[in-house]
Amino acid sequence: MIPSNNEITKEEILAVFPKVAATMADALACDAEKVKLDASLIDDLGAESIDFLDIVFRLERAFKVKIPRGKIVEDARGDLSESEFDQGGVVTAAGLARVKTFLSEVPPGRFKSPLNVADIPRLFTTETFCKVVIRQQRATAAAGASQPT
């Protein structure tokens, strides 16, 4: 399955954005106004690895969803095997195409080639996390709907 963002609309993103921005601002101890939708977490907001953990756990509490660690990269990989996705920590051409599709909110010029798997989080923007929240909200709703009553 090729990961797609088509099903996530701009309206959905804008609906969760204020709460995502406020949550990220709390985690990064900055003003919410600074957390723009297209802001890069690392390059624009100065986030470090511990901040990513902080943001994920705060989003889980704020939106009452579960966000498995490594979820973004895992979802970006889709049905590619690990060896198809990266070789020795460097994203393959097929993997890079998947990442570009999945992180459609990231301007094309920000994708480096070769791209190290460890550097994928450098691409994440506020919108990336809005999309994670929306996907996990849908997953939670779908799991609830499939529960026997």
- Interacting residues with other proteins (CB under 8 A): 26, 29, 48-51, 53-54, 57, 61, 66, 68-70
Question: Shortest distance, CB of residue 50 to other proteins, whole angstroms?
Answer: 5
Question: Shortest distance, CB of residue 47 to other proteins, whole angstroms?
Answer: 11
Which CB atom, from 73 or from 103, has the smaller least distance to other proteins?
73
CA distance 55 to 117: 20
Judge contact between 124 and 72, C-beta under 8 A.
yes
Which CB atom, from 10 or from 64, has the smaller least distance to other proteins?
64
**Quick one: which H or E segment has residue 91?**
strand 90-91
**Quick one: which H or E segment has residue 19?**
helix 10-28
CA–CA distances in Å: residue 61 to residues 65, 67, 145: 7, 10, 21
Question: Shortest distance, CB of residue 56 to other proteins, whole angstroms?
Answer: 9
Question: Shortest distance, CB of residue 136 to other proteins, whole angstroms?
Answer: 14
CB neighbours (10 Å) of residue 58?
16
3-state secondary structure of 87: strand
CA distance 96 to 111: 9
Which CB atom, from 57 or from 111, has the smaller least distance to other proteins?
57
Question: Shortest distance, CB of residue 79 to other proteins, whole angstroms?
Answer: 22
Which CB atom, from 30 or from 37, has the smaller least distance to other proteins?
30
Which CB atom, from 70 or from 107, has the smaller least distance to other proteins?
70
